[in-house]
Amino acid sequence: MKFTGELSVKAPLAAVYEKVRDARFFASCVDGVKDLAEIGPDQYSAVFETKVAYMKFAFKVTVAVTRADPPREIEATVEGTPRGIVGRMTATSITTLTEVGDETKIEYAVDAALTGKLGSLGQPVLRSKAREMEKQFAARLAAAFQPGGAAT
């Protein structure tokens, strides 16, 4: 299952890259991420809790930054297992940043595979959840670059 999208932030490319590359800041922009811990260079573990359709899920996830080309691109892998049900989630993401005037355009592509009960929900439900998460992330990232935000 592939997800793509883009968003813009009114901030310089290098500043946006630094924020996106900061694991703690990134996690703070994603609703439901808890217990983030660095387990190695560019490797992290966390718990991700979310509600999809009528079901709540909690995943134990590991994230590894597999490639970084500052300040333009970041590639990462995510692997997770849901708590309490059989299944698995794996994903690869590529994030590309481009300076456009006084804004930075962020384009992303995620290739995800889900097995077990979560995989049975279907693509339309999961795409809707991905769009909801994108909106939250974009709002929190943009807020960091406002006066009084986390970037000041």
Residue-wise pLDDT for 35-84, tens only, equals: 999 999 999 999 999 887 777 888 999 999 999 999 999 999 999 998 88
Query: How far are the Cα atoms of 119, 120, 121, 135, 138 from residue 116, in angstroms, in the given order?
Result: 5, 7, 9, 27, 30
For residue 110, the surrounding DSSP H or E stretch is strand 103-116
Mean pLDDT confidence for 126-137: 84
Number of H helices, E strands in the chain: 3, 7
Q: How confident is the model at residue 152 (pLDDT cuts 50, 70, 90)?
A: very low
Distance CA 99, CA 23 (A): 22
Q: How confident is the model at residue 34 (pLDDT cuts 50, 70, 90)?
A: very high
Q: Within 13 Å of residue 45, how many CA atoms lie on the same side as its CB?
A: 5
Contacts of 31 (CB under 8 A, 6+ apart): 50, 133, 136
2-144: which CATH number, 3.60.20.10, 3.30.530.20, 3.40.50.300, 3.10.20.880?
3.30.530.20
Residue 86 pLDDT > 90:
no
- What is the pTM (predicted TM-score) of this model? 0.85
Domain boundaries, the chain: 2-144
Q: Give the three-class secondary structure for 147.
A: coil
Q: How confident is the model at residue 150 (pLDDT cuts 50, 70, 90)?
A: low
Length of the chain counted residue by residue: 152
Q: How confident is the model at residue 87 (pLDDT cuts 50, 70, 90)?
A: confident
